Amino acid sequence: MQILSVQSSVAFGHVGNSAAVFPLQRLGHEVWPVLTVHFSNHTGYGAWRGPMLSPDDVREVVTGIEERGALGVDAVLTGYQGDPAMGHVVLDTVARVRALNPDARWCCDPVMGDVGRGMFVKPGIPELMRDEVVPAADVITPNHFELDFLSGRTTTTLAEVLDAVDVVRATGPRDVLVTSVVHDGTAEGTIDVVAVSDAGAWAVTTPLLPITPNGCGDLTAALYLAHLTTTGSPATALERTTSTVFAVLERTVALGRREIALVDSQDAIADPPATFTARVLR
């Protein structure tokens, strides 16, 4: 599979394309990474250096790929969009890909905010995500906070989460993976990940580990896109994705690192362990 991945990049650490490209390659896929920023490190450190690329520069890179005859990819992966203008470049890029390959699948991680932090993106981004980007995507991977915003609801039960997913799916995307789900039935020290498609809904419950590193959402979106596309099964993709991410986090904790241990966990990426089994929700 050939994947165009339009995301941020860092020289040190693993977020954006620096979290997504290696796992996709380790799974045997070709990736054309298009960078929206190239920083020394992710912004969670509080200080960083490097350029934020202009939307025009990103559009030029995409045009160059098209001129090489390589834009008719099988899938597009996108994540954090630093400015509404970049969001419009992404929408244009996906339209150009689909003109060349109508079967291309777009997986969008609608990065906007999180529980306890609220919205952390520029003004205009949340509305752009809700009104234009998400409706045009095939697959989305919001966290619980982002799902509530996209659906215009506040969800505290698993049934409410599924109803909110249905509201969002009605706008366009057929496959939804909701990460970091906490509801009134969640056991202490665990978290749910929920996958919903036309075929049904499934959940995996994973233990919480004593670590909250940057880049896990980027890794999750990349893995889910890859496994969903290659297997055609949301349940299998959910099991493989959660099992791999949990293995990466376990290894990261064992090594005492702040950055996710992607290279050290590459065997679990290439051959996902059968750690979790998806349970049917409907």
pLDDT tens by residue, 192-250:
999 999 999 999 999 999 998 999 999 999 999 999 999 999 999 999 999 999 999 99
Boundaries of domain holding 80: 2-280
Q: Using alpha carbons only, what angle is made at residue 81 by residues 57 and 183, rounded to the nearest 5 degrees?
A: 165
Other beta carbons less than 10 A from residue 258's beta carbon: 11
CA-nearest of 52, 36, 211, 46 to 109 is 36
How far is residue 120's CA from residue 215's CA, in Å, rounded to a whole number? 15
* Separation of alpha carbons 210 and 189, rounded Å: 10
- The answer to whether the beta carbons of residues 191 and 208 sit under 8 Å apart is yes
Say if residue 135's pLDDT is above 90. Answer: yes
159/141 Cα distance (integer angstroms): 18
Length of the chain: 282
Number of domains in the chain: 1
Look at the pTM and tell me if it is higher than 0.95: yes
CB 71 within 8 A of CB 62: yes
Mean pLDDT for all residues in the chain: 96
For 247-269, write each residue's pLDDT tens digit.
999 999 999 999 999 999 999 99
Q: What is the CATH number of the domain that holds 127?
A: 3.40.1190.20
β-pair partners for 73: none
Residue 81: predicted pLDDT? 86
Cα–Cα dist 4/71, whole Å: 8
Record the tokens describing residue 63, joined without a space.
């045009």
